[in-house]
Amino acid sequence: MYRLTIHELHDRLKRKEVSSQEVTEVLLKRIAEIDPKIKAYLTVAQQEAIRGAQEADRMIATGRISPLTGIPLAIKDNMCTRGIKTTCASKILENFVPPFDATVVNRIKAEGGVILGKLNMDEFAMGSSTENSRFTITRNPWNLQVIPGGSSGGSAAAVAADECIASLGSDTGGSIRQPAACCGVVGMKPTYGRVSRYGLVAFASSLDQIGPLTKDVEDCAILLNAIAGYDPLDSTSADTPTPDYRRGLVKDVKGWVLGVPKEFFVEGMDPEVEERVWDGIRVLQELGAVIKEISLPHTGYAIATYYIICTAEASSNLARYDGVKYGFRAQDPRDLMEMYLETRSQGFGPEVKRRIMLGTYALSSGYYDAYYKKASQVRTLIKGNFEEAFRECDVIITPTSPTPAFRIGEKVQDPLQMYLSDIFTISVNLAGVPAISVPCGFSSDGLPIGVQIIGRPFEEERIIQVAYTFEQNTDHHKRKPPLPPH
């Protein structure tokens, strides 16, 4: 039963073949059996989950059932959950229990969705492998010696290992799509402003976006329906109407123009990734899509631009963790200054400190123009590249990540190599456009590979349609990792 998708489980709940409490118990058992190997969860909210399921069963009994009612889901640990720890996988928030729910969590609960617990991540979402978590290393269900991607590694691994029906992640530079590709699941970063970030712990506010990680494209549309839309509590949320994203669940790409950016197929890419992505493009071509080479000429500047903007914004956002208001405080300081220094030195891990230092430097007086301002200007050019490209094509297709998931420990000593994992996803965040990653095959070692489909702002429906057409004409999403059933 834990293998079901949202829509399959919904049908069974609706026909009353199973209760939410029964499925929730099955999933809690699955977590107890599998998670000691995978380590996707930081917190399993057993009691809250059972209570939520009972509430959902009452809703169903009175005939009130919406697509998420009674469905067990899990949330990345940087979204606030009332009464359940929200740590950002950081020592500095180790014991933080929020007094409120993030808007996305609120919306899921309002529909009767069941929250199973909180998922591991890179500390403050900084990383591409989940190895920067201060608490534990999450393993890829397809190979336990391999990373699950990051920073939403727990969110992707939990879905792939059937430890939840679907999950939420956050994506600042690729953190939903890259782990989705690494774990063979579907992951979407919606348009900037489409999903409220109220209650998402901020990393880089001009880039952060929440989105779904799911077993198939239909589930992605369903979960997006639940979380998308205007929220007065988030001043960056877009006050534009939200369609029913299930309208994109149409198997048809005839005549659609798919842009393939020449700058994305460059040296250094794993040849198997390149082959699988081209296989995928050909599938769509055979279904009637028109393939067109396009150019995104400023792609080469994306990583540098991103690492100035995201570190600058992070240094400012993370200034609030000072040991005074909430969270961890260093023991026995001599004075206030030592309390600040020790709290932050002990509370943050090395990658977070690196970024705070880089970002503080980029924003310091005399350097602001040379770094942050310059990066913002290049960002405008990158955004302009997408606008121009979308005059010639309906969607853009690229690999999600340049390599399949790598081995645990392989890149921890080399931050630059780690940063390059996001070379294909970062410009999408800089431009603010939506993109989805769907499974498009496997490497010879049996590791999943993902293809990325990028759309115009607020055209999530279209990328869902291309992704759905692709998925329904292939069977990569049906393969399951070699984990024991129970």
Residues with catalytic roles = 76, 151, 175
By beta-carbon proximity to ligand GLN, the closer residue of 311 and 465 is 311
Q: How far apart are CA 220 and CA 168, in angstroms?
A: 10
Among 218, 422, 459, 461, the residue binding ligand GLN under the rule CB under 6 A is 422
Residue 88 interacting with ligand GLN (CB under 6 A): no
Chain-centroid distance of CA 135 in Å reads 19
By beta-carbon proximity to ligand GLN, the closer residue of 43 and 128 is 128
Among 48, 131, 163, 171, the residue binding ligand GLN under the rule CB under 6 A is 171
Q: How far is the CB of 451 from ligand GLN (least distance, A)?
A: 18
Site for ligand GLN in 196-225 (CB under 6 A): 203
Q: Would you call 465 helix, strand, or coil by DSSP?
A: helix
By beta-carbon proximity to ligand GLN, the closer residue of 151 and 385 is 151
By beta-carbon proximity to ligand GLN, the closer residue of 78 and 143 is 78
Q: Would you call 383 helix, strand, or coil by DSSP?
A: helix
Q: How far is the CB of 406 from ligand GLN (least distance, A)?
A: 13
What single letter denotes the amino acid at residue 227?
I
Structure tokens at 206: 């001009």
Binding mask 103-142 for ligand GLN (x = CB under 6 A): ----------------------xxxx--------------
Give start and end residues of each alpha helix (H) in 261-366: 271-286, 302-317, 336-347, 350-363
Residue 175 interacting with ligand GLN (CB under 6 A): yes
Select the span of 21-29, 173-181, 276-284, 320-328 touching ligand GLN (CB under 6 A): 173-181
Which residues are bridge partners to 73 per DSSP?
115, 166
Q: Which of 447, 431, 428, 438 is nearest to 189 (CA)?
A: 428
Report the half-sphere exposure of 404 (CA within 13 A, side-chain side): 24
By beta-carbon proximity to ligand GLN, the closer residue of 151 and 315 is 151
Among 53, 310, 358, 395, the residue binding ligand GLN under the rule CB under 6 A is 310
409-443 burial, b at 16+ Cβ within 10 Å, e below that, comes to ebbbeeeeebbbbbbbbbbbbbbbbbbbbbbbbbb
C-alpha dihedral, 62 to 70 to 209 to 198, nearest 10°:
50
Select the span of 62-70, 167-175, 238-246, 476-484 touching ligand GLN (CB under 6 A): 167-175
Residue 77 interacting with ligand GLN (CB under 6 A): no
Among 72, 174, 187, 190, the residue binding ligand GLN under the rule CB under 6 A is 174
By beta-carbon proximity to ligand GLN, the closer residue of 81 and 429 is 429
Select the span of 170-178, 225-233, 369-377, 388-396 touching ligand GLN (CB under 6 A): 170-178
Q: How far apart are CA 310 and CA 239, in angstroms?
A: 25
Report the half-sphere exposure of 451 (CA within 13 A, side-chain side): 32
Q: Which of 146, 169, 143 is nearest to 156 (CA)?
A: 169
Q: Contact positions toward ligand GLN, by CB under 6 A?
A: 125-128, 151, 171-175, 203, 310, 422
